[in-house]
Amino acid sequence: MSARAGVATGPAALGTDLRRFLSLTFTLAATDFKLRFFGSALGYLWSLMRPLMLFGVIYVVFTQVIRFGEGVRFYPVYLLASIVLFTYFSETTAGGVTSLVTRENLLRKMRFPRMVIPLSVSLTALFNLGMNLLAVLVFALGSGVRPRLSWLQLPLLVLVLTVLGVGLAMLLSALYVRFRDISPIWDVVLQLLFYASPVLYVLSLVPDDFERAMLANPIAVVLTQMRHAVLDPSAPSAAEAIGPDVRLLLPLGIVAALFALGLWVFMRETPRIAENL
């Protein structure tokens, strides 16, 4: 037993016991994941169904109707991979927004570091991403994509997406406790981001001026780099697309800034979360 002498108590965002923090986050995430997978007969299929359906519809439209994808190598794989990555981002943030409110019964009755809640939502989404990437892998190999060493960049890209998603989840979940219209607003923003990010199209097809501006969006950077590193080495990397390397600091700076803002707001709101719920 850790007998910490005279600890002044109060609701903490992070707490002092890292092991407990991690084990709680993991337990909550694993529970959610388990519920999703074993709660229904087709568990895994359902969670894959959403990105697959979206993929199917867009694939038909963009290759058969508009004939847009023809100039892009491995366009179907790119489409599926980018949809899966964007789904990860939207699950992290949209799930994060309501996370504190849906876990009200825990927050009002139990003592544990508050940050566990939005983090566990992100972790569940990460588990899901892992499962979905397996499907992408099978599809990619089937389409003739060759494994390359640069695939190792993928975890790094997922990390960037995770930091962005967690930062937003912290920010939005804390705000949602007080302002309940954050949730519909965020739904609209996600829609906007979906089209503003090169999910359906590839960035190299966008006029140059637009391209630079769009690369301020960290998701666009992640997807473009993914295309270069995973699918087609001849496609421009994010650094090449954005021009001088220094400019890469802008999207990364945005990620860092959003994360810092989210952390700050969450820490500030922590003491009053339970009573404002």
Q: Any contact of residue 41 with other proteins (CB under 8 A)?
A: no
Q: Which of 13, 79, 158, 182 binds other proteins (CB under 8 A)?
A: 182
Q: How far apart are CA 22 and CA 18, in angstroms?
A: 6
Please say which residue, 70 or 181, places its beta carbon nearer to other proteins.
181
Q: How far apart are CA 157 and CA 218, in angstroms?
A: 10
Q: How far apart are CA 149 and CA 226, in angstroms?
A: 13
CB of 189 to other proteins, least distance (A): 13
Q: Which of 146, 181, 207, 209 binds other proteins (CB under 8 A)?
A: 181
Contacts 24+ apart (CB under 8 A), 242-248: 242/212, 242/215, 243/212, 247/212, 247/215, 248/221
Of residues 105 through 144, those in contact with other proteins by CB under 8 A are 105-112
Three-state DSSP at 143 gives: coil
CB of 103 to other proteins, least distance (A): 9
Please say which residue, 63 or 183, places its beta carbon nearer to other proteins.
183
CB of 182 to other proteins, least distance (A): 8
Q: Any contact of residue 79 with other proteins (CB under 8 A)?
A: no
User: Is 4 exposed, middle or buried (CB count within 10 Å of its CB: 0-12, 13-18, 19+)?
Assistant: exposed
CB of 13 to other proteins, least distance (A): 11
Question: Which residues are CB-neighbours of 152 under 8 A, at least 6 positions away?
Answer: none
Q: How far is CA 55 from CA 44, 49, 58, 92, 124, in A?
A: 17, 10, 5, 20, 22
| Cα-Cα end-to-end distance for the chain | 32
Q: Any contact of residue 188 with other proteins (CB under 8 A)?
A: no
Stretch that binds other proteins, among 50-58, 133-141, 144-152, 180-188 (CB under 8 A): 180-188
Quick check: 107 and 100 in contact, CB under 8 A? yes
Q: Any contact of residue 16 with other proteins (CB under 8 A)?
A: no
Please say which residue, 17 or 232, places its beta carbon nearer to other proteins.
17
Stretch that binds other proteins, among 103-111, 152-160, 216-224, 254-262 (CB under 8 A): 103-111
Q: Any contact of residue 12 with other proteins (CB under 8 A)?
A: yes
Please say which residue, 19 or 67, places its beta carbon nearer to other proteins.
19
Q: How far is CA 58 from CA 190, 191, 227, in A?
A: 18, 15, 18
Q: Which of 14, 20, 73, 137 binds other proteins (CB under 8 A)?
A: 20
Please say which residue, 39 or 155, places its beta carbon nearer to other proteins.
39
Name the token pair of 162: 């995770």
Quick check: 123 and 29 in contact, CB under 8 A? yes
Q: How far apart are CA 240 and CA 215, in angstroms?
A: 11
Q: Which of 3, 65, 149, 188 binds other proteins (CB under 8 A)?
A: 3
- Applying CB under 8 A, the residues found at the interface with other proteins are 1-12, 19-20, 23-24, 27-28, 31, 34-35, 39, 105-112, 178-182, 185, 271-272, 274-275
